[in-house]
Amino acid sequence: MNKILTYTQNSKLNSLILFAVYFVINFLFLTKYGIRLSFVPISIPIVIFTAVHIFLFYLRKNELLTKKINVKLVYLLTVILGVGYIGLCHILKDPYQMNIDR
């Protein structure tokens, strides 16, 4: 069993498979709920989603970024983006009038 796992640990294939699974799951989520957008055709969010994720996949290999990114910066960016996202959600749509399909 260990011989099989040593091949997948720290390899490019493992990274590519994880990215593909992540991308496909989020892409399906985008197409399912993106159809509900009435003011933007579904092709625009799909193209933007694909371009951004391919860009990020290749950007992670940049040596300048890997030297400057640390754990504190990641947490700070996560908090800032999370608070900004929640703020935009409340501005764009009243949370008490949302119709969730559950």
Domain boundaries, the chain: 2-97
Q: What is the pLDDT of residue 94?
A: 63
Residues 6+ apart with CB under 8 A from 89: 95
Q: Is the pLDDT of residue 6 over 80?
A: no
Tokens of 11: 């390899």
Q: Is the pLDDT of residue 83 over 90?
A: yes
Residue matched to tokens 């970024």: 65
Residue matched to tokens 């949370």: 95
Residue of higher predicted confidence among 33 and 60: 33
Q: pTM for this structure?
A: 0.56
pLDDT class of 51 with cuts at 50, 70, 90: very high
Q: Do 100 and 93 form a contact (C-beta atoms < 8 A)?
A: no
Burial of 88: CB neighbours in 10 Å, binned 0-12, 13-18, 19+? exposed
